[in-house]
Structure 1
Amino acid sequence: MSKVESVNKWDLNHIVFIGRTWDEYMRMFGLTKEDLVGRKILDCPAGACSFTAVSNQLGMDVTACDIAYYLPIKQLEQKGLQDIETTMSNMERADIQKNFLWDYFKSVDELKQIRTQAMNQCISDMKRNKNRYIPAVLPTLPFDDKQFDLTLSANFLFLYEDKLDYEFHLQTIKELMRVTKDEIRIFPTTNFACERYKYLDELIRDIRNLGWITEEIKVPYEFQKNTNTMLKIMR
């Protein structure tokens, strides 16, 4: 079975192809433009986020990586539109909305518009610059040691603590460390229940034992309640 067939058969239903915007990334990771200029940056897993597209338009050097990129672009686009509709339908429920702060996004309609915009920017850039969008299955990446100065990882690790065990988290972070020269930023540090990842202290200890420095940092972005911290990992 080819990799594309494997992803189609086993993973498509588990991939939620919804993206965040460039501005959201800047807030989620506490970034400034100066943090990005002149650095090679990896976004992993990048999903349907527009960070790579917009950053490269601004003259920066960003590569996106995700298991979803094994799939045909047209299929990803259809999947993304479907996922946005499903997610926004769920967001209309009062018991769901109460778990979110509605200041950055003023309404579900605005959220839908921005999520659609992010995905459209991603898909458009993917069609023009396919070489920026690298397929991979974590915890293995097809990059050289220290290929990137900065790696960003959003809305994957820690969130899925009920599906991804501790060993997967550790091996994934070790792989991100292998391909990263200076620093890694992971957002958020909580699971879908808005609770701090239960093995985070153990993980931080293991990371520090590998010679890296860690810091939990509050960031100027909080959409889901209590989801406003990132883990910064530095050599």
Structure 2
Amino acid sequence: MSEVEPSMKLDLERIIFIGRTFEEYMDMFSLSTDDLKEKKILDCPAGACSFTANGNHVGLNITACDIAYYHRGIDLKNKGHQDIEHAMTHMKLANNNYVWDYFKDIEALRSQRLRALNDCSADMIINKERYIPVTLPTLPFQSGEFDVILSAHFLFMYGDRLDYNFHLATLNELIRVTRNEIRIFPLVTLEGKRYEYLDQLKEIVKEKGYSVEEKVVSYEFQKNANSMMIIKKF
């Protein structure tokens, strides 16, 4: 696979390297390990999530990709620790924007974010080939290479920074490289509002002949962020 030009890569200071745990992924996407056995899975973009590390540890076949992976693992780990502490400070100021059921308090949240970062960082050192640097909306994978693609906390959340054309191009690329299914979580912006072009994107996907479903999940941390979109090609 070919790398993008250096000018297209984000400076490390512009990357927020925070991730979710394997258990969070299973809850936010309403999955079990049995659902994913014998399937080739892509986490895109994966950031500092431990889904790839822990999933492969229990016998799943998961690849992670993210623009952050152009940087060294040790630099990302250090950045991740800084970002977690910054995020925890923000949480204290915006406490009412979150539902404190999944995590009982900020210390519990910090503990899980650190666990995800440490598990991811350790796996990146041992199994570097699982962590592929990419620059969306382009992916360096073959058409239909993956059975399942999971995409968390990226598309739709940054609707104020990433325009409609970027969302459409990225969605088309995810559709290209999956053989069967895509799950995207959540369906709201950072402000907790439904992404304004979501229905328009859904109609485009349906016109291509694929099924689209919105499904409420049990996981809710950010208020109103408790639904995912499932796209199936067959």
**TM tier relative to shorter chain:** over 0.9
Shift of 1:88: 0.6
Distance in 1, Cα, partners of 2:30 & 2:125: 29
Equivalent in 217, 222, 225 of residue 223 of structure 2: 225
User: Secondary structure of the residue that 1:80 maps to in structure 2?
Assistant: helix
Segments ≥4 residues shifted beyond 6 Å: none
Distance in 1, Cα, partners of 2:28 & 2:133: 24
Distance in 2, Cα, partners of 1:115 & 1:6: 30
Q: What amino acid maps onto 1:112 in structure 2?
A: R
Q: What amino acid maps onto 1:37 in structure 2?
A: K
Contact 1:18/1:48 (8 A) holds in 2: yes
Runs of 5+ in structure 1 lacking a partner?
none
Q: How does 1:83-232 map to 2 (within 5 A)?
A: 83-93=83-93, 96-232=94-230
Query: What is the Cα-based RMSD across aligned positions, in Å?
Result: 1.3
User: Secondary structure of the residue that 2:48 maps to in structure 1?
Assistant: coil
Shift of 1:13: 2.9
Contact 1:3/1:70 (8 A) holds in 2: no
Distance in 1, Cα, partners of 2:28 & 2:154: 13
CA displacement, residues 39-86 of structure 1 (integer Å, 9 cap, x when unaligned): 000000000000000000001100000000000111101110110010
Alignment partner, residue 60 of structure 1: 60
Runs of 5+ in structure 2 lacking a partner?
none
Alignment partner, residue 79 of structure 1: 79
User: Secondary structure of the residue that 1:123 maps to in structure 2?
Assistant: helix
Going from structure 1 to structure 2, the CA distance change for 1:4 and 1:53 (only over 3 Å counts) comes to: farther
TM, length-normalised to structure 1: 0.95
CA displacement, residues 195-222 of structure 1 (integer Å, 9 cap, x when unaligned): 1100001000111111111000001100
Q: Percent identity?
A: 53
Distance in 1, Cα, partners of 2:141 & 2:37: 21
Contact 1:158/1:191 (8 A) holds in 2: yes
